[in-house]
Amino acid sequence: MSATIQSIEAILVDIPTIRPHKLSMTTMGVQSMVIVRMKDSDGIEGLGEATTIGGLAYGAESPESVKLTIDTYFKPQLIGQPSENINTLRVMLNRSTRGNNLAKSAIETALLDLQGKRLNRPVADLLGGAVHQHIPVLWTLASGDTAKDIQEALGLIETRRHCDFKLKIGSRQLMDDVRHVAAIKDAVGESASVRVDVNQAWDESTAAKGMAELQAAGIDLVEQPTPMKDYAALVRLADKFHLPILADEAVADAKDLYTLAAAGFSGAVAMKIAKAGGPARALEQATVAQAAGIGLYGGTLLEGTIGSVAALHAWSTLETLHWGTEMFGPLLMKDDIVVQPLNFHDNGVDLPTGPGLGIEIDEDKLAHYRRQA
Ligand code: MUC
Ligand code: MG
């Protein structure tokens, strides 16, 4: 008899950030996550996470709406179902529910963790096997203050925690942002890669001016300079500059990436398990990108350890991540709810090796940080 799903709990958890994290659309001082605990009839537990940035400032799903979707819509469909056939359960949820990819990602992650623990294999093995055990991770400088960002970057380079940096820009006047970025690039020098994320804040003509300035300043990559739906602008800008563009908000899943590639986009894509609806779904984008000659990047919605590790298992199966990853979410938070935090060293992070995700919840920490009703 195959094991069936017995219980699903979606828990809201709020953990303060180590410093304000300033993005073009919001400033974060706390990260709110939805932690999923799914138990089957053999008593095995699968963990999942859905997290987004700044409530509803980044996208259409909030932590609160993810919890509601799981509690009200997914739970009644999943309870009593065999837990092993993840594809069948995914088809079922996709038939009953449009969108809601963050919630779907948390469920797919919990099912993969459950299956990995049942088979005594890491999640990466369920996805075909890890090609890499140590994965590069950049750091986002986003204090909003140039001097503080420089100090932060130099400290991280010195300890070899990170050698690549992403700067969040777009909320200030263009030339103020350009001066900020150029000063940081100057301070960290040639060996550090500096990229920017505009989070859709520019119109096309501002982006053209901005990219010319950033190209001259030695910046390596410009992420989502223009509004997400404006595919034609991304294609024109990618044509105009040798400074490559990273598509983030524009591309949630493989279909979006195919559409953008077919329109003539060249550059790179930020894969995110949350945008795609889960680690296995995110890897579908990698296949399209590889076929279209588009570079790969492992993106985050600033998940905590559970969500970051789920993504790391997926990224570890890829031969080449042209632009590395940004799975630093746990480092941006003041504390963690897992027993064994990730090991960040040598400009990257180690893939956990235990069965499933390879993560254990710290019950006291979870009790401390869970949101009181
Ligand atoms: C985004 O848009 O890329 C990822 C890293 C970071 O600092 O913010 C996120 C979201
Ligand atoms: Mg981005």
Over range 135-158, report the average pLDDT.
96
Residue 144 binned pLDDT confidence (cut-offs 50, 70, 90): confident
Among 67, 168, 185, 275, the one annotated catalytic: 168
Task: Please state whether beta strands 348-350 and 134-136 pair in parallel, antiparallel, or not at all (unpaired).
Answer: antiparallel
Per 3-state DSSP, what percentage of the chain is helix, strand, and coil (rounded to 5)? 40, 25, 35
CA 92 to chain centre: 25
Over range 225-235, report the average pLDDT.
97
How far is ligand 2, taken at its centre, from the CA of residue 342, in Å?
22
Answer yes or no: is pLDDT of 136 > 90.
yes
Answer yes or no: is pLDDT of 319 > 80.
yes
Answer yes or no: is pLDDT of 373 > 80.
no
Nearest to 127 by CA among 89, 94, 86, 93: 86
Tell the residue number behind the tokens 């630093």, with chain if given: 328
Tell the residue number behind the tokens 């009200």, with chain if given: 72
Per the prediction, the chain carries an average pLDDT of 97
Answer yes or no: is pLDDT of 214 > 90.
yes
Q: Hey, which residues does 137 pair with through a beta bridge?
A: 325
CA 297 to chain centre: 10
Q: Is 308 in the pocket of ligand 1 (CB under 6 A)?
A: no
Residue 104: partners with Cβ closer than 8 Å, 6 or more residues away? 90, 93, 94, 97, 277, 278, 281
Q: What one-character-per-residue DSSP string does 199-254 give? A: TT---HHHHHHHHHHHHHTT--EEE--S-TT-HHHHHHHHHH-SS-EEE-TT-SSH
Residue 85: partners with Cβ closer than 8 Å, 6 or more residues away? none
Answer yes or no: is pLDDT of 11 > 80.
yes
Helix ranges, 122-230 (H) = 123-126, 146-158, 174-188, 204-216
Atom number of ligand 1 nearest to Cα 166: 7
Q: Is 52 in the pocket of ligand 1 (CB under 6 A)?
A: no
Over range 234-239, report the average pLDDT.
98
Over range 179-193, report the average pLDDT.
96
Please choose from 19, 31, 138, 140 the residue to mutate so as to test ligand 1's pocket, defined by most ligand atoms within 8 A of CB. Answer: 140
Backbone angles phi, psi at 72, to 5 degrees: -90, -35
CA 142 to chain centre: 16
Answer yes or no: is pLDDT of 184 > 80.
yes
Does 152 participate in catalysis according to the annotation?
A: no
Query: How far, in Å, CA of 248 to CA of 259, rounded?
Result: 14
Vertex 129: Cα angle to 161 and 300 (nearest 5): 45
Percent above pLDDT 90 for the chain: 97
Answer yes or no: is pLDDT of 169 > 80.
yes
Query: How far, in Å, CA of 196 to CA of 93, rounded?
Result: 36
| Beta carbons of 15 and 30 less than 8 angstroms apart | yes
Q: What is the pLDDT of residue 14?
A: 98
- H or E element at residue 261: helix 254-262
Answer yes or no: is pLDDT of 24 > 90.
no
pLDDT digits 0-9 by tens, 75-95? 999 999 999 999 999 999 999
- Collapsing DSSP states into helix, strand and coil, what is residue 46? strand
* Neighbour-count burial for 203-239, b at 16+ CB within 10 Å, e otherwise: ebebbbebbebbeebebbbbbbbbbbebbebbbbbbe
Q: Which residues surround ligand 2, an ion (CB under 5 A)?
A: 197, 223, 248
pLDDT digits 0-9 by tens, 43-78? 999 999 999 998 999 999 999 999 999 999 999 999
The tokens of 164 are what?
Answer: 């690549």
Q: What is the pLDDT of residue 191?
A: 87
Tell me what ipTM this predicted complex has: 0.98
All domains of the chain in start order, with CATH: 5-124+362-369 (3.30.390.10), 126-350 (3.20.20.120)
Answer yes or no: is pLDDT of 198 > 90.
yes
Answer yes or no: is pLDDT of 280 > 90.
yes
Does 168 participate in catalysis according to the annotation?
A: yes
